[in-house]
Every structure is written in structure tokens, then in C-alpha cells.
């Protein structure tokens, strides 16, 4: 089984530890993971802001880079949903406009290979206990793309419930959007901030130490609000919890919470 890591732009630029955590979890389960260095953006920012034609080269690139793999795993429900939901539309449009069927065929071949991390663990590998230990109280925020477009359901919770020492507490209003939404946060900053503050307030009410999610874009938004409010609550990607195997006496791991204002971190390079 040839498995590739599709890291995504946000993780590569800001949260490389999430990519490393995915590799740690998969290798612990006996999966050999490649990181094709030719991968680029999936095109979601362009597509969502109306640059549909300009997204096509990125679709073509993604299909070429991952063509030889059986499965493509990504720690991002948002980018997985972009491929699964929008690539077929983009391919169909090129055909409808008389520009051939090559892109539609390439996109169609890629779509069934792409899995969000928790989907891959539960549905493809058939595991919920990944051998993790994380003795902290955690609450889980299901991002909109994972919840509504991918239909992740209870997969993330089942994985978290199998982590030794982890106390999972339910997040009030969990299915409400956190207000990030990519360019929505840029174009509607005041509304985005208000929605994020509601999410933070609900997370704080649980008494959790960690606010967990499966999309670092949402966690960047919420982590920034937590940082500015000097909250002890920390945002952390589910992959980093599933990769943890040691007791953490000094508290849960910390990570950048200011997003882009903290500047980029080193890029992830895994054996290709």
C-alpha cells in the first residue's frame, strides 16, 4: 500500500509539527509514508474567491503528484473536502467548455484516494486505538468542512476516546462554525471574531486544558483569540494528540497561537 502525506499550505507554513505527528501515527501503525515534495496548494483559496479558471493548473498538479499512490492522507478536512467536492466540478467544467476531458479524468482518479486523517485511520486501517497516551482534559471542535462536507461524524471522538489518560468533555454548541472560513475571516473580520469568541467561551466553560480539532485553519483562528485573552486553554490538532505516547507532567504541548504574525516555521521534509 503506497501512502502519501498531503500536508497542505497552512500546515507546511505554520504547523509542521502536525505533519510530523501524522507520519508518527501512521508509521506506528506499520504504514510507510511518502512526502512528495512536488505537492503545492490544492487551490481552495483561489476557487473560493472566484478564480475558478486559475485553479485548474493546481488541480492538474495535484493529480500528477499523487497519481502513483494508493491513498493520499491529509490532516485537513478543509483541503480534503476541496478535492472531493470541487475537483469533479472543475473537471466537468473544462469538458463542458469544450477543453477536453483530460482534467476531468485526472481529477476523477485522484478523488477516491484522498482521505482526511481520521477517516483513513478508522475506515481504511480499521483502528481507533492508535497507541496514544495524553493525560489531559480535551474538548473537540468539529470544523465545518469535516462535519458537513466530509461527514466525519464520530470518527475523531472515537479516536480520542481510545487515547489513554485522555478525558474527553463535550463542547457546547460544537457544531456551530468557529467563524474562520478562510477568506470569510478576512472579508468579515468583526463577525468572524464574534463567532470565534463564542466558540472560545464555550470551550472555556468545559474546563478543558486543550481545544482539539482536525483543521489547523480553524485552530489558528481560535488559538489566536485564546492567546490574546491570555487563556490557559490551548488549541491543538488531533494528530498531535494521537502521536503523543509519553506522560506530559508539565502540561499539554504549546504551539504558535498568533498564526501568520508569528512568521513561518521550518518546512516539513519527510522521505520521498
Mean pLDDT of 156-164: 97
Q: Contact at 8 Å (CB) between 12 and 19? A: yes
Asked if the structure places residue 130 within a domain, the reply is no
In this model, does residue 263 exceed pLDDT 70?
Answer: no
In this model, does residue 252 exceed pLDDT 60?
Answer: no
Q: How much is the pLDDT for 41?
A: 95
Q: Do 93 and 43 belong to one domain?
A: yes
Lowest-confidence range among 1-15, 69-83, 127-141, 169-183? 169-183
Asked if the structure places residue 112 within a domain, the reply is yes
For the chain, percent of residues with pLDDT exceeding 70: 90
Confidence of residue 181 (pLDDT cuts 50, 70, 90): confident
Q: Do 118 and 178 belong to one domain?
A: no
Q: How much is the pLDDT for 231?
A: 83
How many domains, in total, are found in the chain? 2
Which residue did the predictor score with more confidence, 93 or 259? Answer: 93
Q: How much is the pLDDT for 182?
A: 77
Q: pLDDT tens digits, residue range 226-236?
A: 998 888 899 99
Asked if the structure places residue 262 within a domain, the reply is no
Asked if the structure places residue 257 within a domain, the reply is no
Distance between CA 112 and CA 145 in Å, rounded? 17
Q: Do 176 and 216 belong to one domain?
A: yes
Q: How much is the pLDDT for 265?
A: 34
How close are the terminal C-alpha atoms of the chain, in Å?
15
Q: How much is the pLDDT for 253?
A: 57
Which H helix or E strand runs over 114?
A: strand 114-116
Q: How much is the pLDDT for 255?
A: 57
Mean pLDDT of 170-186: 89
Mean pLDDT of 95-112: 96
Q: Do 86 and 166 belong to one domain?
A: no
Distance between CA 196 and CA 222 in Å, rounded? 6
* All three cell numbers of 59: 488541480
Asked if the structure places residue 167 within a domain, the reply is yes
Q: Do 95 and 177 belong to one domain?
A: no
Average pLDDT of the chain, as a whole number: 90
Confidence of residue 184 (pLDDT cuts 50, 70, 90): confident
Domain that holds residue 119: 2-124
Q: Do 115 and 142 belong to one domain?
A: no
Residue ranges of the alpha helices (H) in the chain? 9-14, 16-28, 44-48, 52-65, 77-81, 87-96, 102-110, 117-119, 144, 155-161, 183-187, 189-205, 216-228, 238-243
Q: Which residues contact 37 (CB under 8 A, 6 or more apart)?
A: 269, 272
Q: Do 120 and 144 belong to one domain?
A: no
Asked if the structure places residue 206 within a domain, the reply is yes
How open is the CA angle 94-114-73, to the nearest 5 degrees?
140
Domain-ending residue, one of 124, 147, 173 = 124
Q: pLDDT tens digits, residue range 106-137?
A: 999 999 999 999 999 999 999 999 999 999 99
Confidence of residue 261 (pLDDT cuts 50, 70, 90): very low
Q: Do 153 and 103 belong to one domain?
A: no
Domain-ending residue, one of 99, 124, 149 = 124
Mean pLDDT of 78-101: 96
Asked if the structure places residue 177 within a domain, the reply is yes
Q: Do 50 and 109 belong to one domain?
A: yes
For 101-115, b where at least 16 C-beta lie within 10 A, e where not — what string? eebbebbeebbebbb
Asked if the structure places residue 54 within a domain, the reply is yes
Q: Do 69 and 141 belong to one domain?
A: no
Q: Contact at 8 Å (CB) between 227 and 211? A: no
In this model, does residue 28 exceed pLDDT 60?
Answer: yes
Q: Do 110 and 146 belong to one domain?
A: no
Q: Do 42 and 81 belong to one domain?
A: yes
Amino acid at each position: 500500500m503506497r501512502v502519501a502525506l498531503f500536508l497542505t499550505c497552512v500546515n507546511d507554513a505554520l504547523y509542521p509539527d502536525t505533519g510530523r505527528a501524522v507520519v508518527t501515527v501512521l508509521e506506528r501503525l506499520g504504514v510507510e509514508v511518502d512526502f512528495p515534495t512536488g505537492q503545492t496548494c490544492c487551490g481552495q483559496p483561489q476557487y473560493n474567491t472566484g478564480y475558478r479558471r486559475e485553479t485548474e493548473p493546481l488541480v492538474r498538479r495535484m493529480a500528477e503528484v499523487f497519481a502513483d499512490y494508493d491513498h493520499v492522507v491529509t490532516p485537513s478536512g478543509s483541503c480534503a473536502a476541496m478535492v472531493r467536492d470541487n475537483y469533479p466540478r472543475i473537471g466537468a467544467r473544462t469538458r463542458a467548455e469544450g477543453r477536453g476531458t483530460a482534467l476531468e479524468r485526472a481529477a476523477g482518479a485522484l478523488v477516491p484516494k484522498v482521505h482526511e486523517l481520521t477517516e483513513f485511520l478508522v475506515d481504511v486501517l480499521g483502528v481507533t486505538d492508535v497507541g496514544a497516551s495524553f493525560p489531559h482534559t480535551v474538548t473537540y471542535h468539529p470544523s465545518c468542512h469535516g462535519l458537513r462536507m466530509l461527514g466525519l461524524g464520530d470518527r475523531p471522538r472515537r479516536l480520542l476516546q481510545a487515547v489513554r489518560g485522555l478525558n474527553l468533555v463535550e463542547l457546547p454548541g460544537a457544531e456551530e462554525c468557529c467563524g474562520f472560513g478562510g477568506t470569510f475571516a478576512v472579508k468579515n473580520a468583526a463577525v468572524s471574531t464574534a463567532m470565534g469568541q463564542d466558540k472560545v467561551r464555550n470551550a472555556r466553560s468545559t474546563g478543558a486544558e486543550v481545544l482539539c480539532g482536525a483543521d489547523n485553519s480553524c485552530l489558528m483562528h481560535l488559538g489566536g483569540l485564546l492567546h490574546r485573552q491570555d487563556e490557559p486553554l490551548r488549541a491543538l490538532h488531533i494528530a498531535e494528540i494521537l502521536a503523543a505516547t509519553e506522560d506530559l507532567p508539565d502540561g499539554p504541548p504549546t504551539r504558535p497561537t498568533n498564526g501568520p504574525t508569528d512568521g513561518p516555521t521550518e518546512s516539513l521534509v519527510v522521505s520521498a
